[in-house]
Structure 1
Amino acid sequence: MKIVQIIIGLGVGGAEHMLRRLVLAQQVAEPARQCTVISLTSIGPVGKLLQEAGIPVIAMGLHAPWGFFTGLWRLKKTLEALKPDVVQTWMVQADLLGGLAARWAGIRGVIWGIRTTDFGGASRLTRVVRRVCAVLSSWVPHTIVCAAEASRRSHVAIGYDDARMVVIPNGFDIQRFCPDADKKKTLRAQLGIRPQDHVIGHVGRWNLAKDHLNFVHAAARWAAQNDITHVRFLMVGREVDASNDDLAQAIAESGCAGQFMLLGERSDVPDLLQAMDLFCLSSRTEGFPNVVGEAMATGVPCVVTDVGDAAMMVGSTGWVVPKEDAEALSAALALATQESRIEREKRAALARMRVVQEFSMERATLRFTQLQQWVAEKTQAGVERCVD
């Protein structure tokens, strides 16, 4: 089979890394499968990683909305030259441009990719593109893949064709994300964390959707009622550092400023997860939060807000609280730290087992591979609708 993957860009992000993991996993599983990745903008760091692994990457260099028609024509000509059996697109702009170019080039095997759940933070242009995609969803794509059940529901609500939708959750590298007691001990020592400290981690770039202040306010409520000198709050992410005035002020007013450790953006998040005893997702909106799966695979139980598919991911292995409710989040964090060592170890093992059984990269790769094969067969047979 020949597959072309189209994405808006190949910078550092959840969709970009999922695409990379999928392509590389399929390359190992089926060396004869030919895959080309097209970035509508630039190569980016993820594109360079793909190239280093021997995957052809084409950068279209499109950066302005008014270049849409020129880009559409160039993309059509590129697809005509590549002659793929299936074109798979990632995120709404690539869905529109890649889907139209593929159909114009006579390629019926189009798979759209939806990852967003909440539309509140989207630009006006993105909202317009999404509405156009909703109208075209009954004709352009053969199948629409959602990364989360919550994403499917939100897009059906604005007019996407539900009959063409399937849900394939992200897959996690269970070899890369796995418990390592020696690494945990070493990292905690390097960070100046005492053996008796209970480390609660928070990972995510500074963004309203991630609701970092909910996490800080929960810590403040907890500290106001209890002695939490044995607890450390480890926060990681772009702009999550002392130079962030809003975050620094909230922490200074929390009553437990000395318990916070702000590491900013780091490239060693898989290692930093090892240092945590508990992970907290405090977001007000999510789709399929990768970091929760990564923490669980590392054997770190999670306290999550009930957003996107977070509750489904955690299942009975962690704690789920309403979003934007610092009081409930504080209570859950306190409850989690009160468990005995044996209870914590059992919960950690269950969290990892859930990821291994339900959300491994192997399982996700198999589902995508089967879908691509199925779409190729159906479109070659003239079946234009997702009917199975």
Structure 2
Amino acid sequence: MLKNFKKNCILLLLSELRPGGMERLITHLANGLQKKNVSMMVVCLQDKGELAEEIIESKKFVRAIGSHGSKDIKAVWALRKLFKDFKPAIINIHDYSSLPYAALANLFFFNVPLMFTAHGLLYEGFEKLQKRYRFFSRFLSGFSAVSNAVANRHRNYLDWGKEIQVIPNGVPEIKKDDSLRGQVRNELGMDAHDILFLAVGNPRPEKGFEDLIQAAVALKSMTTGRFRFKIAVAGKLFDSEYCRMLLASINAENLKDCFMFLGFRRDTAALYNAADIFVLSSRSEGLPMVILEAMTAQLPVIATGVGGIPDAVGQAALLVDPQDPCVLAVAMHELMANPDKRNTLARKGQALVREKYSMEKMVDAYIQAYEDLVKIK
């Protein structure tokens, strides 16, 4: 077993543990490896980020280089020092911006197996960097992806001719807690019978939050006082044109009473407990952690059928077409008005996650992938 290898085996590398699905997976993976007594270290090219605190003994097991420039040669040397101190048996890279630095530091100084894990569908901004990443992908010994859709996208992007192992995301179970439910709903000014829709994700174009705002407009006209609802989005707002557009749309559509951006929240378990329905309006996804978290928290899920979502959830979620606010609103209204259907979806979702997307299964799959690479090496 990998845990019997020499001390300090696994190095997980990414840009920063900022709020996001990929970063959240790394916190789960790091904690899962520790619980199985597998030595590990998380290295961030930039800063540690807000999610670093979620890793057990983060001061000991998370390092940050502080590199913020483009083509920063000093970052290669900083990684070299960390590699030398840590002596990893495997380096698992989780984003493309980290790939060149890891490849160079490893090529010149260590030559241990490099494994790349692909998390998303490369929504925008990657085509101009394709030649660079195709070149550095030559130094990879292994490749994994969170879904078949993600694997196919990255295989084409890199012209990768070798195997890509699919390792689905896994999440820890979120327990029901009525006290947490009450706290958040009081904060949001909600009565016991009001319906709370929860969305989780940093506002970026691929998340399709403008579609969710327009769905709220349609849903408001459908309910006409019959139901009271709120839509809450947990995610870090940036000073970007896209975020400013979203906030302006909420004002223009007079949705301040029912649509709110909560910003970055650490109390995600409390948010899942407070919600009645989870909604995902994305235009592009791999295998969203947030859907799995919502399901393990026993929330019914409405999601757009993009990327790896349809294959992952099957009949355990209510799927709709992306970029169609009216269809999304109809689905939201359907679950608002049908408690039995909400309960049925909640049960199916929780059973699905327990069977296929548990933390235990995910961590074991990564350990097996690491072991296979060490054997090849």
Q: Same fold (TM over 0.5)?
A: yes
CA separation of 1:349 and 1:140: change in aligned 2, threshold 3 A? same
Q: Distance in 1 between matches of 2:249 and 2:41?
A: 46
Deviations 1:311-369 (A, max 9, x none): 23332122111111112111211222232x34322321211111111111111111011
* Letter of the structure 2 residue corresponding to residue 131 of structure 1: K
Equivalent pairs counted in the alignment come to 366
Give the equivalent residue in structure 2 for 1:132: 132
Counterparts in 2 of 1:1-388, with a 5 A limit? 1=5, 2-30=9-37, 33-47=38-52, 49-50=54-55, 52-53=57-58, 55-68=60-73, 70-120=74-124, 122=125, 127-137=127-137, 139-174=138-173, 177-236=174-233, 237-239=235-237, 246-254=245-253, 258-339=257-338, 341-379=339-377
Q: Distance in 1 between matches of 2:225 and 2:159?
A: 48
Please say if residues 209 and 281 of structure 2, whose CA atoms lie closer than 8 Å, have aligned partners that are also in contact: yes
Measured on the aligned residues, the alpha-carbon RMSD in Å equals 2.6
Q: Distance in 2 between matches of 1:350 and 1:84?
A: 40
Q: Distance in 1 between matches of 2:197 and 2:48?
A: 36
Please say if residues 111 and 145 of structure 1, whose CA atoms lie closer than 8 Å, have aligned partners that are also in contact: yes
Q: Secondary structure at the match of 2:158?
A: coil
CA separation of 1:378 and 1:314: change in aligned 2, threshold 3 A? same
CA separation of 1:228 and 1:214: change in aligned 2, threshold 3 A? farther
Gap runs ≥5 in structure 1:
380-388
Q: Which runs of 4+ in 1 moved over 6 A?
A: none
CA separation of 1:282 and 1:50: change in aligned 2, threshold 3 A? closer
CA separation of 1:42 and 1:265: change in aligned 2, threshold 3 A? closer
Please say if residues 113 and 374 of structure 2, whose CA atoms lie closer than 8 Å, have aligned partners that are also in contact: yes
* Letter of the structure 1 residue corresponding to residue 201 of structure 2: G
Over the matched positions of the two proteins, sequence identity in percent amounts to: 22
CA separation of 1:43 and 1:261: change in aligned 2, threshold 3 A? closer
CA separation of 1:271 and 1:313: change in aligned 2, threshold 3 A? farther
Please say if residues 283 and 304 of structure 2, whose CA atoms lie closer than 8 Å, have aligned partners that are also in contact: yes
Q: Report the alpha carbon displacement of residue 136 of structure 1 after superposing the two structures with TM.
A: 3.9
CA separation of 1:327 and 1:180: change in aligned 2, threshold 3 A? same
Deviations 1:152-193 (A, max 9, x none): 12112223314231111221111xx23334533454344332
Gap runs ≥5 in structure 2:
none
Q: Distance in 1 between matches of 2:286 and 2:166?
A: 12
Please say if residues 86 and 107 of structure 1, whose CA atoms lie closer than 8 Å, have aligned partners that are also in contact: no
